[in-house]
Structure 1
Amino acid sequence: MEDGKCNGGATAVLPEIKFTKLFINGQFLDAASGKTFETIDPRNGEVIAKIAAGDKEDVDLAVNAARHAFDHGPWPRMTGFERARIINKYTDLIEQNIEELAALDSIDGGKLFHAGKMNDIPAAAGHFRYYAGAADKIHGETLRMTRPSMFGYTLKEPIGVVGHIIPWNFPSIMFAMKVAPALAAGCTMVVKPAEQTPLSALFYAHLSKEAGFPDGVINVVTGFGTTAGAAISSHMDIDKVSFTGSTDVGRKIMQAAAASNLKKVSLELGGKSPLLIFDDADVNKAAELALLGCFYNKGEICVASSRVFVQEGIYDKVVAKMVEKAKDWTVGDPFDSTSRQGPQVDKKQYEKILSYIEHGKNDGATLLTGGNAIGDKGYFIEPTIFADVTEDMKIYKEEIFGPVMSLMKFKTIEEGIKCANNTKYGLAAGIVSQNIDVINTVSRSIRAGVIWVNCYFAFDLDSPYGGYKMSGNCRESGMDALDSYLQVKSIAMPLHNSPWM
């Protein structure tokens, strides 16, 4: 690690880039083609390092390693207790390297360094610790067969080789969220991190070697979605693909899986989450919650509360308070501890967000605050709030994945529910109210996989998380996630000297 100066004058702890190659069968390797790609620092647009560009040939090599490790290696044949010991050692190593991992995600993805140290990396470690505790608690059932002459039971077995395709907005948490339950189940895997943020995944690969995972259990192939990601999705020797990202890409992955070996596909996709603020809400707390829900992680979060509906009785007060607070929402270098928002992940995403802001202006929405790029270096955008947004506008309908909020007014509970459900997505939703009848009615009526009441981003290791509708078909976290990497085998046999037909 070395010190450097941030734009705001704070001292940044910049990590040494140690790992830039593919990690296959326990070794760091160049891509078969010899090709590399540049990973960019979004603070300034400068090149951080050149990363091996994995392709189909490299995916084949990684899958062969994972296949051999699953079919012939010790990992799926260990007891759950033995697997847990290695996963716990891995977790210890992650916790010993929190600062370096957080710094890698900051320079690679523009994520706040202090948030990485306090939240992201500890949360990643928590996932591994949680599923280490579950590894020796995987049980089938003894069946009470309908025919008294038969005895039956079930086994839960690892699904096999898994392909994990992870997004760039939470590189560490998403790595852990997918890898940890698959390891506990006894699976082997090929991980493709997003091309925008490959650095921390390669560091996690290095730590897996130190922790003592058998070769081939964890493989990391860096590269692009159209090449490495496509090869994983269509590979005949991969038994399951787990993907988090856009709905359009999720559809392509499902098509590729169907066209190959009908592998299982878990998809956690886009969102356009509503936050409903009712008349009895505390105005100050509601405004702070709305800003947090939309602008946290610079809006690059699939559950962002980008559609905020405020009941008419307190609409003007809430809007005024949000605009006031948004102007104090500090955008700056992610290594500056006073920053609440860093740069967008890359130039492409930066330009996409700015184009949505222009659509909002041109479509007739009222720009209350923000709406501009910041500075002439890096990919910084002001927190942006639009009012008078209507359901036919692009900023209402489409996932922006940036710090852009759409504000609307509603009158009745029924209207609020209708507005919340008026989207093709169904990932998350928030409710701000002190009325238990309102809370119960609305939370049961919104079609979304997660409902947060008087809070937001209340993720928990024990709480399953996933979407309805076009937000996907899986559940991450909790025992639901572990079950998704297991398959059930039924075994039946006749009792001694009993007829079975």
Structure 2
Amino acid sequence: RMAQNGTTENGVTGANGDGSPPMPFPQPVKVQEIRHTKIFINNEWHTSLKGKTFQTFNPATGVKICEVEEADKADVDKAVKAARAASQRGSPWRRMDVSSRGRLLHKLADLMERDRALLAAGFPPGVVNIVPGFGPTAGAAIARHMGIDKVAFTGSTKVGQLIKEAAAKSNLKRVTLELGGKNPCIVFADSDLQLAVEETQKGAFFNQGQCCTAASRVFVEEQVYEEFVRRSVESAKSIVIGDPLDPRTSHGPQIDQKQFDKILELIDSGKKEGAKLECGGVAMEDTGLYIQPTVFSHVKDHMRIAKEEIFGPVQCIFRFKSQQEAIERANSTEYGLASAVFTRNLDRALSVSAALETGTVWVNCYNALHAQAPFGGYKMSGNGREL
């Protein structure tokens, strides 16, 4: 699992944090028979009213998995009608007391625990521990099971804008938008350099870079720049690429062909605009939508790879001279989701954190998320807070 209680656990020990025995490391997941491809409404499976379906493919092999029923407006209306009925006085859900609802949530948690390896298939090692142990109160069920562990992040600013426009035309609906980012990390010369390398790369390559908090801009103070790049390249080359259903794999395929092509096009733009490709930057020769972990050095702020959200395994490393310069360049973006500061100086950590225009600032770590701390962005990274 990822960053529960401010730490990142790799899943090998399965430490639960409560003294209980570690969970066994899961075996490679077998692709199971697809049983449910219909639309789930009111506790029943339905076919699309217009008969629409869409194909879904395994990005590791390119093989078609199945066809899934595609909901249209009429199907959504049916689902909304069922939800409204469930919330009316006298409905079975409204008549159910809190403890009974809690038991249902515990049952859901047990089922998630049972199938955790299958649910986490394709994510990096450690995400298999999706469901930690419950506390004694059922009231914590939703927060503990549905909120504390961010397994994957997706966000599109364009889609968010469309949602806001639609909401504005529809009875002033309250909308929370958690969207994209072009997230900066600032590495000062006094930092623990190896820690900074490891954390920024986890931020850059988690889930193949398909993460709205991806650490895609790394600003490194010039005194340690060359050493940071050298260590980053060495680290990137050690990443295990392979079958996403094998828990030993830490780098799998991109989600689909469209995203795969977009990432390679942006990598090509980086090379053409003068950034130095240190490693990776190409697709794997085997089948599937694999792109090697990619590191660019000597990246300039005007380049496309410095400005656009790549949503792929691309780490861009910039050089800076002064603290004020780093802050100004880090803030020079339309996004404002997350950032990080690496330094041994507490005063610097606090002052730089206060100056960064992002919803979250991590200090000497990355993607460390708490259920008790709000999460969300500024500017084009969205509005509202989760957790």
TM-score by length of 1: 0.67
Aligned counterpart for 1:374 among listed residues 269, 284, 292 = 284
Alignment pair present for 1:89 and 2:107: yes
Aligned counterpart for 1:265 among listed residues 172, 175, 193 = 175
Percent identity for Structure 1 against Structure 2: 45
**Alpha-carbon contact 2:105-2:141 (below 8 Å) kept:** no
**Alpha-carbon contact 2:338-2:358 (below 8 Å) kept:** yes
Q: Deviations over 1:11-66 (max 9, x none)?
A: 54222212111000110111112221111100111111111111111101111101
| Structure 1: 5+ residue stretches without partners | 1-9, 138-172, 181-196, 198-242, 478-501
Residue-pair matches, total:
358
State the match for 1:476 in structure 2: 386
State the match for 1:122 in structure 2: 131
Pairs within 5 Å for 1:397-476: 397-476=307-386
Q: 1:297–1:428: structure 2 CA closer, same or farther, 3 Å change rule?
A: same
State the match for 1:64 in structure 2: 81
Pairs within 5 Å for 1:85-484: 85-103=103-121, 106=122, 111-112=123-124, 114-118=125-129, 121-122=130-131, 132-134=138-140, 176-177=146-147, 245-477=155-387
The residue type equivalent to 1:357 in the other structure is: I
**Alpha-carbon contact 2:275-2:297 (below 8 Å) kept:** yes
State the match for 1:191 in structure 2: none
Q: Secondary structure at the match of 2:185?
A: strand
- Structure 1 position 135, deviation (Å): 7.8
**Alpha-carbon contact 2:218-2:318 (below 8 Å) kept:** yes
**Alpha-carbon contact 1:80-1:136 (below 8 Å) kept:** no
Alignment pair present for 1:44 and 2:61: yes
- Structure 1 position 325, deviation (Å): 1.3
The residue type equivalent to 2:309 in the other structure is: E
Q: Deviations over 1:201-233 (max 9, x none)?
A: xxxxxxxxxxxxxxxxxxxxxxxxxxxxxxxxx
- Distance in 1, Cα, partners of 2:294 & 2:58: 23
- Structure 1 position 284, deviation (Å): 1.7
The residue type equivalent to 2:212 in the other structure is: C
State the match for 2:4 in structure 1: none
Q: Secondary structure at the match of 2:50?
A: coil
Q: Deviations over 1:166-225 (max 9, x none)?
A: xxxxxxx9x9349x9xxxxxxxxxxxxxxxx9xxxxxxxxxxxxxxxxxxxxxxxxxxxx
Q: Deviations over 1:52-97 (max 9, x none)?
A: 1111111011111011111242435654444323222221221122
Which structure shows the higher strand fraction? 1
Alignment pair present for 1:27 and 2:44: yes
- Distance in 2, Cα, partners of 1:353 & 1:86: 42
Q: Bigger radius of gyration, 1 or 2?
A: 1
TM-score by length of 2: 0.86
Q: 1:291–1:62: structure 2 CA closer, same or farther, 3 Å change rule?
A: same
The residue type equivalent to 1:255 in the other structure is: E
Q: Deviations over 1:330-374 (max 9, x none)?
A: 221112333221000111111110011011111111111111000
**Alpha-carbon contact 2:154-2:212 (below 8 Å) kept:** no
**Alpha-carbon contact 1:381-1:403 (below 8 Å) kept:** yes
Alignment pair present for 1:75 and 2:93: yes
State the match for 1:494 in structure 2: none
| Structure 2: 5+ residue stretches without partners | 1-26
Q: Secondary structure at the match of 1:374?
A: coil
Q: 1:132–1:304: structure 2 CA closer, same or farther, 3 Å change rule?
A: farther
Q: 1:263–1:402: structure 2 CA closer, same or farther, 3 Å change rule?
A: same
- Distance in 2, Cα, partners of 1:87 & 1:11: 28
The residue type equivalent to 1:426 in the other structure is: G
